[in-house]
Structure 1
Amino acid sequence: MTIVDTADQEQLTFDNDLVEAEIKPYYWVNQSNALVNTKQNLTINERRLLYALVSLVQPEDKDFKSYVLQTKELASLFGISESGFYERIRETVKGLNGKPLTVKRTKENNKVVIDDIYWVQRATYDEGQITIKLSEDLAQFLIDLKSYTKYQLYNVLQLRSEYSWRLYELLKERERFGKRIFEVKELRDLLSIPDEKLTLMKNFRAVVLDKAKKEIEEKTDIRFEYEIHKKVGRSIHSFIFYIYKNKSNIQSKLSEEAADYDIQSILNRLIAKGVSREKSVAIIKSYHPNYIEDNLRYVLKMEDKGLGNLPGYIISAIELNYAESSYEKDGKNDPLYQLAIGNADNKLKEQTGKDLKVLEEIYSYFITIMNKKKPERTEEIKLIKEEINKTLFKELDSIHDYRLKHRLPPLLIEDFEKSKVKAYFKKWYEDYKEGLPY
């Protein structure tokens, strides 16, 4: 049913959390292992749109935002002609929601219930752009993750086969172990291959496994070999896949812009988990970002167990490699990352200096007014102090929003040690810390 809007009707709108988004191929997709290992039946274009949106979800997000995307940029990102792309996007959204994610769960009485979770909550189509929001029911798979699979968009956007994409995700989830075993029936189910399709094993191997093997090695950061793991009679029961890093592709995709993004993301996450800014900068100067990521992920799995000193545990995990990361420990061997570290450190110091200057200028302005007026009445002094609070708090809100938008760590109390506005920042932090990611 189509609802026709009129001037007298209240218009349905998105929430006020609109974000004008730009998607880059080096953005990271983070999704729970549970989502990776759930049956999905999506086309390549449905996957491209869905995971482009997922790449915009940040670890510190509390809920999903409504993203405004330019159709021209989406078409370019997907490598598709802009002609007719507007309608294709709309059909893609409809296609996504026509294939809900089916999740089975067991209630306390051991009764199994089935949830159908839709991928997109809302979409609005305007001239040259779409505004779109993921379904809130997906939050459990994409926000505040403890056990998750992570990869960069560029690894999947160029894939032409949905089987290649799904197999890439399934192998990426076990990359750190170097192998994964699938029963044939299990793999067919995860790849959504109907019972009546590709029934001959030689066809299954040629169309699915061998084609995926070639395409994944050509276009992604991993490669694999596979062999028969077990037979039952003359039939193949299971395959074992051996997973390797595709180092040539990893290096060829790294750019200065991508390195800046990786370093800034890691720095933000360390600070968000309570590691001091000074120590966080020291860490990114000493270790490779992928190595840090592996050890952060290791700690996050244990966070709910009540670690007494989370920042201290994170530091120990990184220094001692609790995760037994297979990535190179020392980040100093990659000049692009070293350049990015210097850029991040300098950019952060410069922005913090600007922010403090603005806040202190506001404070000095009001102090000058008080000195000129020399208010004698308690009520006048109270009003001016309230105005100082109100103005500084508004500016702190603006600074915080700017830093989030530009992927900069938030201001910390340590930044105000020599500042006249330290007490105001502490009060602002106490009032708003529920909404802050640190």
Structure 2
Amino acid sequence: MFKITNLLVGDSLIETKQVEFKVNDLIIQSNDLIEAYYDNELTTLEHKFIRYVASKIKKNDSQFPDYTITVKEFAEVMNVKGNNYHSQVKELADDLTRKRIKIRSSNDKMGWFPWFSAIIYDNGTVHVSFNPIIKDYLISLDSRFTGYSFDDIKKLKSGYTVRVYELLKQYEKIGKRTIELDELKRMIGVGDKYPVYGNFKQRILNVAKKELEATGELYFSFKEVKQGRKTVAIDFNIHKKSPKQQTPLSKEAQEFIESVKKSLYIHGIAISDKKILSWKKYGIELILEVLEEIKHRDIENYENYISKVLKSKYENKDVDPDIGKEENTSKEVIDDINEIDESLLNLARQNIVAKYAPGKELIPDYFLEKEVIPFFMKFMNVSEKVASELWEKYKTIIMYQIKTKKDEQLQKRYNR
């Protein structure tokens, strides 16, 4: 699914990775980045573009890749209407490379940085390079971060709402947040644009409140904090939306969802609360076990994949594959296995590895078993019982060979 291309800019050769068109990827930012000051007001399109590219950062990335996004993908993801989106992309590329953020760290360090070192439009394709200086605010985050899905902001029409959403999402678990008015203006990027509070309230706070109530997965109410007659801060009360006609979740269920979400965020995975709750019967230990198993895999649909693996592991958790094996394996079956030509068996295994190594996802052994046993029966002309015993005998080594081959192919693809 990834295509490596090379783009010559001046005397530098930029390697670019074509990202897969998928909008439910997780955006993870350090809290310092969430609370950054925006030197300039960003358009809604610019806010979404930054976050869409950020959602493509993988958990195991140690450096920023340089991404390539087609204009068609850009138009679909950003919900751009009309026929002039090529012009909009060019304008966005020109503007965003000149807009800065001011990041303040907990150790009192402060810096002013552009988001991107380069955005290049080339015949219907956008090549994007994040500024490497902000790497520590987007990559390898183990604590003090905020995560959400791009789908959570995709439908928002105001860039102000995107920023208000992020600032409130950071405090979602606490349920309230107070921000000084001047501080909030700097975080949103409006500066002195609305010196009269009434205008700021009408154009930003009320718009964000209405939008999030209509389309967001959280919403808020607020009240002004005043000194005399002057508004100096905003008290936000943050509310989480629950599915309609759903019984309020128990404290135990809420704690389970939050625990799983935290582990998913660490792995860069976004899953809906409803789906996470459906996993409760499997237990947190089994979920953590599955997440550990898949942490180095590049999977197309995490929600479906994890659900299938959990179900299979849960249904087979009390089954010991070695119990009764000797009693159930007759002498006739053992003799049939011993009579199989070793070179034929090796050829059969090579065929299986060659067939199932391509692709990004590692197929679980319990899915592969349904394909391999009939293949063994046909290829080596053996009974189903013999084929099943062969699978049990060579399953571990076959799965290892498939994984090794898959890793080699992915490495070659990235190095191309």
Q: Same fold (TM over 0.5)?
A: yes
**Would you say the 8 A contact 1:29–1:55 is kept in 2?**
yes
| 1:287-323 deviation digits (Å, cap 9, x = unpaired) | 99943444427999xxxxxxxxxxxxxxxxxxxxxxx
> Taking CA–CA contacts closer than 8 Å with sequence separation of 6 or more, which of the two structures ends up with the larger relative contact order?
2
Q: Which residue of 2 aligns with 1:179?
A: 176
Q: For residues 298 and 10 of structure 1, what CA distance do their matches in structure 2 show?
A: 38
**Would you say the 8 A contact 1:64–1:136 is kept in 2?**
yes
Q: Which residue of 2 aligns with 1:156?
A: 153
Q: What SS class does the counterpart of residue 206 from structure 1 fall into? A: helix
The question of 1:331 aligning with 2:278 is answered: yes
The question of 1:234 aligning with 2:232 is answered: no
Change (3 A) 1:226 1:136: same
Q: Which residue of 2 aligns with 1:222?
A: 218
| 1:141-176 deviation digits (Å, cap 9, x = unpaired) | 111112211112122222222221111110011001
**Would you say the 8 A contact 2:70–2:126 is kept in 1?**
yes
Q: For residues 82 and 66 of structure 2, what CA distance do their matches in structure 1 show?
A: 23
Once the two structures are TM-superposed, the CA of residue 243 in structure 1 deviates from its matched residue by 0.6
| 1:97-121 deviation digits (Å, cap 9, x = unpaired) | 11122235699xxxx8753323223
Normalized per residue, the structure richer in helix is 1
Change (3 A) 1:217 1:347: same
The question of 1:132 aligning with 2:117 is answered: no
**For 1:100-115, what aligned pairs fall within 5 Å after superposition?**
100-104=100-104, 115=111
Q: Which residue of 1 aligns with 2:372?
A: none
The question of 1:296 aligning with 2:295 is answered: no
Q: For residues 418 and 31 of structure 1, what CA distance do their matches in structure 2 show?
A: 44
Q: What SS class does the counterpart of residue 148 from structure 2 fall into? A: strand
Q: Which residue of 2 aligns with 1:29?
A: 27
The question of 1:123 aligning with 2:119 is answered: yes
Residue identity opposite 1:23 in structure 2: K
Q: How many residues align structurally? A: 314
**Would you say the 8 A contact 2:93–2:121 is kept in 1?**
no
| 1:42-99 deviation digits (Å, cap 9, x = unpaired) | 2211112111101111222222223222211211221213523223212212211111
Residue identity opposite 1:51 in structure 2: R
Q: For residues 177 and 52 of structure 1, what CA distance do their matches in structure 2 show?
A: 27
Change (3 A) 1:173 1:132: same
**For 1:374-389, what aligned pairs fall within 5 Å after superposition?**
none
Q: Which residue of 2 aligns with 1:205?
A: 201
**Would you say the 8 A contact 1:288–1:329 is kept in 2?**
no
Residue identity opposite 2:159 in structure 1: E
Gaps of 5+ in 1: 1-8, 252-285, 301-325, 349-366, 372-390
**Would you say the 8 A contact 1:331–1:338 is kept in 2?**
no
**For 1:242-321, what aligned pairs fall within 5 Å after superposition?**
242-248=237-243, 290-296=257-263
**Would you say the 8 A contact 1:70–1:128 is kept in 2?**
yes
Change (3 A) 1:295 1:130: closer
**Would you say the 8 A contact 2:181–2:233 is kept in 1?**
yes
Q: For residues 192 and 244 of structure 1, what CA distance do their matches in structure 2 show?
A: 24
Q: For residues 191 and 224 of structure 1, what CA distance do their matches in structure 2 show?
A: 17
Residue identity opposite 1:244 in structure 2: H
Q: Which residue of 2 aligns with 1:144?
A: 140
Q: For residues 423 and 152 of structure 1, what CA distance do their matches in structure 2 show?
A: 33
Q: For residues 241 and 287 of structure 1, what CA distance do their matches in structure 2 show?
A: 22
The question of 1:19 aligning with 2:53 is answered: no
Q: Identity over the aligned pairs, expressed in percent? A: 23
Residue identity opposite 1:80 in structure 2: V
Residue identity opposite 2:26 in structure 1: W
Q: For residues 129 and 83 of structure 1, what CA distance do their matches in structure 2 show?
A: 16
**Would you say the 8 A contact 1:287–1:332 is kept in 2?**
no
Once the two structures are TM-superposed, the CA of residue 192 in structure 1 deviates from its matched residue by 2.1
**Would you say the 8 A contact 2:178–2:236 is kept in 1?**
yes
Q: What SS class does the counterpart of residue 177 from structure 1 fall into? A: coil
Aligned-pair Cα RMSD in Å: 4.9
Once the two structures are TM-superposed, the CA of residue 206 in structure 1 deviates from its matched residue by 1.6
Q: Which residue of 2 aligns with 1:193?
A: 190
Q: For residues 130 and 117 of structure 1, what CA distance do their matches in structure 2 show?
A: 21
Once the two structures are TM-superposed, the CA of residue 184 in structure 1 deviates from its matched residue by 1.6
Once the two structures are TM-superposed, the CA of residue 341 in structure 1 deviates from its matched residue by 4.8
Q: For residues 298 and 70 of structure 1, what CA distance do their matches in structure 2 show?
A: 27
Residue identity opposite 1:191 in structure 2: I
| 1:237-296 deviation digits (Å, cap 9, x = unpaired) | 3221111112249x9xxxxxxxxxxxxxxxxxxxxxxxxxxxxxxxxxx99994344442
Q: What SS class does the counterpart of residue 131 from structure 1 fall into? A: strand
**Would you say the 8 A contact 2:32–2:103 is kept in 1?**
no
Once the two structures are TM-superposed, the CA of residue 216 in structure 1 deviates from its matched residue by 1.4
Q: Which residue of 1 aligns with 2:87?
A: 87
**For 1:399-418, what aligned pairs fall within 5 Å after superposition?**
399=357, 402-403=359-360, 406=361, 418=394
**Would you say the 8 A contact 1:23–1:52 is kept in 2?**
no
Q: For residues 232 and 220 of structure 1, what CA distance do their matches in structure 2 show?
A: 32
Q: What SS class does the counterpart of residue 94 from structure 1 fall into? A: helix
For normalisation by structure 2, the TM-score amounts to 0.61
Change (3 A) 1:59 1:409: farther
For normalisation by structure 1, the TM-score amounts to 0.58
Q: What SS class does the counterpart of residue 236 from structure 1 fall into? A: strand
Q: For residues 329 and 56 of structure 1, what CA distance do their matches in structure 2 show?
A: 22
